[in-house]
């Protein structure tokens, strides 16, 4: 199912203009890194056939993994363009365009996950608490919610250098900058894709903001949302062995 709730009509997302870039550039990048964490702390505790909510699912990279393991998955994201691609590429799941801070459902899920520092896109403590609360409200008793978030060590690596991704039909550039005084990270994305005219390329731009939270702030937000227990892990404890785990907090909350 792919539908657009009224609350999202016309709202848009900074990822909408660069959805193709997101889908191609990160398709095989983050999932291999986070898979050991999900295997150890999520997939191992949920039986096949369980219902799973993928919060801020993007274009469905992790959703596809969960579907392949036999879960009944619903993915939500604020980007209509990313959700459209997810619905096309992962037909075994259901997808909704929805804001994590406002999501409601009559369905109760056996578990939930949110990866790739998606929750850092919530720019205030109030927003973060609201998203945690919404997830908590749609989970069954004794259900796990696993997620990861960037801490300041990760954002300190954003030194303003451009990184590029390319294939024969497109090229993208990404540059991150972190302001420690504001505790805000801003990522610029520029995407060029070939058109039907071989001499013409289409350009798309986006500016994405994230907020740096401390571990203590994350723990407080989870507690405020009503989860009964929170387990926090470093990258090594989560089984992450590559550089993407640097400065990242891995967590599992229980209802």
* pLDDT reported for residue 131: 98
Alpha carbon separation from 220 to 18, 76, 119, 122, 229 (Å, rounded)? 33, 24, 14, 15, 11
Q: Are 186 and 207 in contact (CB under 8 A)?
A: yes
Which pLDDT value is given to residue 30? 86
Angle between helices 125-137 and 215-224 (to 10 degrees): 50
Instruction: Give the span between the Cα atoms of 22 and 26, in whole angstroms.
Output: 6
Q: Give, in order, the Cα–Cα distances in Å from 45 to each of 35, 80, 142, 173.
A: 14, 31, 11, 38
Q: pTM to 2 decimals?
A: 0.93
Max avg pLDDT among 9-18, 28-37, 125-134: 125-134
Span 2-151+212-254 CATH architecture? 3-Layer(aba) Sandwich (3.40)
Instruction: Choose among 166, 185, 157, 162: nearest CA to 174.
Output: 162
Domain limits, the chain: 2-151+212-254, 154-211
Across 205-223, average pLDDT: 98
Question: What is the band of 27 on the pLDDT scale with cuts at 50, 70, 90?
Answer: low
Q: Tell me whether domains 2-151+212-254 and 154-211 share a fold.
A: no
Residue 10 has pLDDT above 60, yes or no: no
Return d(Cα 63, Cα 85) in angstroms, integer: 12
- How much is the average pLDDT of 22-44? 89
Q: Mean pLDDT throughout 188-192?
A: 94
131's enclosing H/E stretch is: helix 125-137
For residue range 68-89, list pLDDT tens digits in order. Answer: 999 999 999 999 999 999 999 9
Q: 154-211: which CATH topology?
A: N-terminal domain of TfIIb (2.20.25)
Q: Is 128 left (phi over 0), alpha (psi -120 to 50) or beta?
A: alpha
**pLDDT score for 167:** 85
pLDDT-based confidence at 12, cuts 50/70/90?
A: confident
pLDDT in tens, 128-185: 999 999 999 999 999 999 999 999 999 998 878 999 888 888 899 999 999 999 999 9
pLDDT at position 11 is: 57
Residue 95, CB-side half-sphere exposure with 13 Å CA sphere: 29
């Amino acid at each position: 199912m792919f539908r657009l709730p009224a609350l999202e009509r016309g709202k848009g997302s900074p990822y909408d203009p660069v959805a193709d870039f997101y889908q191609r550039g990160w398709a095989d990048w983050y999932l291999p890194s986070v898979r050991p964490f999900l295997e150890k702390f999520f997939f191992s505790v949920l039986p096949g056939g369980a219902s799973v909510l993928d919060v801020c699912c993007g274009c469905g990279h992790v959703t596809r993994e969960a579907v392949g393991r036999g879960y009944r998955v619903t993915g939500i994201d604020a980007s209509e363009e990313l959700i459209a691609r997810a619905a096309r590429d992962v037909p075994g799941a259901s997808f909704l365009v929805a804001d994590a801070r406002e999501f409601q459902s009559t369905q109760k899920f056996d578990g939930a996950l949110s990866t790739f520092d998606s929750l850092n896109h919530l720019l205030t403590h109030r927003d973060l608490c609201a998203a945690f609360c919404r997830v908590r409200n749609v989970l069954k008793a004794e259900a796990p919610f696993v997620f990861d978030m960037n801490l300041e060590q990760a954002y300190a690596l954003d030194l303003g250098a451009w990184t590029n991704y390319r294939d024969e039909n497109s090229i993208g550039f990404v540059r991150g900058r972190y302001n420690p005084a504001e505790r805000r990270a801003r990522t610029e994305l520029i995407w060029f894709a070939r058109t039907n005219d071989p001499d013409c390329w289409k350009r798309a731009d986006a500016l994405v903001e994230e907020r740096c939270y401390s571990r203590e702030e994350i723990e407080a937000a989870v507690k405020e949302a009503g989860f009964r227990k929170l387990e926090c892990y470093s990258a090594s404890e989560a089984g992450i062995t590559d550089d993407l785990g640097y400065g990242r907090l891995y967590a599992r909350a229980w209802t």
